[in-house]
Amino acid sequence: MGRPERIFCACTSGLEPVLAAELGRLGLQARATAGGAEAEGEDAAALACLGSRIADAVLLRLWRGGADELPRARRAAAAAAGPLPLVARVDGGRATLSVDAAGAPLFRRGWRARIGAAPLRESLAAGLLLASGWDGERPFLDPMCGSGTIAIEAALAAARRPPGLGRSFALERLPGHDPARLERLRARLAAAIRPVKVPIHASDRNGGALRLARKNAEAAGIADAIAFARADAAGVVPPPGHGLCAVNPPYGVRLDEDASTAWRALAALFPRLAGWDVTVLAPDRGQERLLPGSPIRATPVRNGGIRCRLLVYRP
């Protein structure tokens, strides 16, 4: 058996409880805290790096104690960190010494062909889905898919494919790291991968965006699971059944597009989404007033520094 580890996973502000719940499903004891979630358990750092869809970074705690003890603690922590730089944090009279277990931002999944004008982080897209209860067991629709981030994350989650499965991590350079143990963890998580069983539809009125979405889906190895189509949201026909519609409409910020037109098109789609759950990543600027009805839940988040809310509707 491995030694229990303590970690801190960072995420987009507003998604802390969703991240804590996800880490719990990975087998860790977790609690939400400002900016992320604290967690502990056997192989906690590796599990979070391999399996968390929402975490942007994973810090492995090497020491914590009184701030006055920090100078003496550094030597032992540096030996445990090996070649990895120590990350020190002081909060009041308490201090921690950690290392970045991932070594690179976890939201960079590696399948983006290029970054668009207003990129949506893969981890935020995954958080939007998990906050909406997405489990890959019902139809999915993104009628303004742009470069395809939300639909791709929906398909990967439906396939139960761990986001870090094919990556290497900084934790592999820690003294005493056991490569065989990490490979067993990879194999355990990989054993849960399955075919996508539900229709996943993604459409956009912009042909260039749609070509990029298809290219990204191919790079992610999930293109066969997503039905792409060029269409204006106002005319989209959802797949049969009661599913989840998740969408990140244009904000009118950094994009040369009439945002109000796009939001009115989304409003025209709402009557055909009766019985569906609809989650909209909306800027905090009142554009949701163009949609029919009121959201049943609103969660403040940030997207690329822009204050937003995750709005949940049941048309």
pLDDT at 89: 95
Give the Cβ contact number of residue 191 at 10 Å: 9
Beta carbons within 8 Å of 166's beta carbon, 6+ residues apart: 110
Q: Which fold has domain 122-159+194-313?
A: Rossmann fold (3.40.50)
Beta bridge partners of 91: 94
By mean pLDDT, which of 111-115, 173-177, 179-183, 226-230 is the weakest?
A: 111-115
Q: Which residue has the tokens 């009439």?
A: 258
pLDDT at 186: 97
Averaged pLDDT for residues 199-203: 98
Identify residue 126 by its one-letter amino acid code. Answer: A
pTM of the prediction?
Answer: 0.94
Closest by alpha carbon to 12, among 90, 129, 100?
A: 129
Q: Which residue has the tokens 């002081």?
A: 90
**CATH of region 4-100:** 3.30.2130.30
Beta carbons within 8 Å of 248's beta carbon, 6+ residues apart: 120, 125, 128, 144, 146, 149, 150, 280, 281, 303
Averaged pLDDT for residues 7-31: 97
Q: Write the CA distances from 52 to 107, 138, 157, 187, 209, integer angstroms.
A: 10, 22, 11, 16, 27
DSSP string, 152-180: HHHHHHHTT--TTTT---GGGGSTT--HH
Averaged pLDDT for residues 174-195: 96
- For the chain, give every domain's residue range: 4-100, 122-159+194-313
- pLDDT reading at 288 higher than 50: yes
pLDDT band at 115 (very low <50, low <70, confident <90, very high): low
Q: Which residue has the tokens 């996800």?
A: 22
What's the mean pLDDT when you consider all of the chain? 93
pLDDT tens per residue, range 202-260:
999 999 999 999 999 999 999 999 999 999 999 999 999 999 999 999 876 544 457 88
